[in-house]
Amino acid sequence: MLDIFLIPIRALRIRYAPLLLIYFSYGSSIFTAIAENFWVKEALDMSASDLAELAVWLTTPWTVKMIFGQMIDSIQIFGSNRKSYVYIGAALITLSSVLMIAVIGDYVIVQDFSKKFIYIIASVIAVVGFVIQDVVADTMTTEVVDKSQSKDKINQELATIQVLSRLSLGLAIFLTSWIGGELASVFKDNREVVFMIALFVPLLSILGISLVKLNIVTVSPINKQVLFGGLTFAVFIVLMGYNDVPYSQEIVFIVSFSVVLYFLRGLITDLDARTIMHIKMAMIVIFVYRAMPSVGAGLNWWQIDVLGFDEAFFAKLSAIAGAIALAGMWFSAKFIIKRSIVEVLIFLTIIGTLLSIPIVAMYYDVHIWLGVDARTVALVDTAISSPFNYISQVLMLTLVAIHAPEGKKGTWFALMASLMNIALAAAGLLTKYLNKIFVVSREVMTDGVVISTQNYTELGSLLWVVIGVGFVIPIVVILKFNPNKA
């Protein structure tokens, strides 16, 4: 047991520090999540399907990571193709926080705009900032490895770095979600204070990239096809969204999926046929696993309105989830590295399905029949399910790191991450469709007039559909496209 506990500690190296701090900064973005969720529920007239649709648009910056990946590989800003990009990302994250402070505090500077507009702009700016920093961190995971080792040792260190990165992310989520939730309860009448405190988040990444001396990185020639093709695609996405084209999200999804696959095809031509087949099959099963829909904002609203969960309790849930997820990642490090993708994803799918049942049971008041408090059920369910939420990410990132081509690491990581985030866009679209079929709403008032009534009657059906789809489809696809066959 002690040996398992010491594995991540023994694996730590001082050269990992900058990228681990950047991942910690990214994990800290959840600091404002509880305050933001309560403010959106109270202040914005957005339905569950509206929020699901916004979530889809917020994944699009992640799907054009190839632009930033190519820039990091080939374009220096102020003599650097690592540090300068982290600073730019930090500046954007800071700007987003300032906009949220202004709109929540109802400052004069934003009163000429609607709250919904400022919220969406701030959300997009923050996502772009985190995308830029994430691309840098992903690229650095392949550059801090000791290249003097054997190939097997290098691959093992690449996997270890991915585990350590998730541990850094998990530690940040545990600490900042808990503290941020508690502060959301304390400042429930002045939620902008939470966003003021959140200005520490960009400082973490700046600290990580500034205090550590990085090795000189070779600047690769610009891949004009990837860079300009990506920029054209980004402009296309903006025009589609801005002009509110019918089925714009569906069109963007299909085009982005095709573009990323096309660019990836050009990058893997140097690999042998067996490796290419293995990568393709692994990406199919991970893509489908990540593309499964969620219930959406309606579940959160129901927990607040019906079960009476408040900011302080959500803070406890976040703390427990973060702590146990961190412990689970810590103690399962060896298991994650040694097991195959198929074994782990089938295990995660089955566990995820089983752990969804308590929420459904609470909807049908089973906890009342059993004499158990809803908060107790939520605490136990969160504690059990939380360790399994990060493992699939480690599988994907390890596979990507192992096959990253020299001189193209930034572009490679960005394209593969884009593909996986397109899967999240697919999940968001499915969530949006389901929320349009099974309509869930909370009470919304404007100037004392009720414009939307509370209605959770269809939440039960929505829960069952999400659970069924999330179990059957991944299992079938995983068994059909088993990467081990390659």
pLDDT, tens digit (0-9, with 9 covering 90-100), for 386-435: 555 556 566 666 666 666 666 666 667 667 777 888 888 899 899 999 99
CA torsion 414-77-232-293 (nearest 10°) is 30
Contact 85, 132 (CB under 8 A): yes
Give the pLDDT of residue 456. 92
Q: How far apart are CA 414 and CA 139, in angstroms?
A: 9
What homologous superfamily is domain 2-485 in, according to CATH? MFS general substrate transporter like domains (1.20.1250.20)
Q: Decide if 405 contacts 270 (C-beta within 8 A).
A: yes
- Provide the pLDDT for residue 464: 95
CA distance 469 to 429: 14
Query: How high is the pLDDT of residue 122?
Result: 93
Using CA atoms of 196, 197, 202, 208 in order, give the dihedral in degrees to the nearest 10. 160
Mean of pLDDT values over 247-265? 84
User: Rounded to whole angstroms, how far apart are CA atoms 25 and 22?
Assistant: 5
Q: Do 226 and 265 meet the contact criterion of CB atoms below 8 Å apart?
A: no
Residue with tokens 């059990």: 384
Per-residue pLDDT tens over the stretch 160-191: 777 777 778 878 887 888 888 889 989 988 89
Per-residue pLDDT tens digits for 136-148: 887 777 777 766 7
Question: How do residues 372-384 score in pLDDT, each as one tens digit?
Answer: 888 888 877 776 5
Q: Give the span between the Cα atoms of 441 and 300, in whole angstroms.
A: 11
With a threshold of 0.85, does the pTM exceed it?
no
Dump pLDDT digits (tens) for 100-111.
999 998 887 778
Among 120-129, 281-290, 432-441, name the one with the lowest average pLDDT: 281-290
What's the DSSP call for residue 72?
H
| Sign (positive or negative) of CA dihedral 166, 127, 467, 257 | negative
* Distance in angstroms (rounded) separating the CA atoms of residues 148 and 154: 8
End-to-end CA distance of the chain: 35
Above 70 in pLDDT, residue 443? yes
d(CA 466, CA 450): 30
Q: Give the separation between CA 279 and CA 347, rounded to whole angstroms.
A: 20
Is the pLDDT at 270 greater than 90? The verdict is no
Residue range 122-137: average pLDDT? 88
User: CA nearest 167: which of 355, 447, 397?
Assistant: 397
Mean pLDDT of 438-460: 81
Which has the closest alpha carbon to 352: 394, 387, 310?
A: 387
Q: What is the mean pLDDT of the chain?
A: 80
Q: Tell me the Cα Rg of the chain.
A: 22
Whether 478 and 291 have beta carbons less than 8 Å apart is answered as no
- Residue 96 pLDDT more than 80? yes
Measured distance CA(90)–CA(383) in Å, rounded? 33
Using DSSP, state whether 445 is helix, strand or coil: strand
- Residue 323 pLDDT exceeds 80: no
**Is pLDDT above 70 for 98?**
yes
Who's near 369: CB < 8 A, 6+ residues apart? none
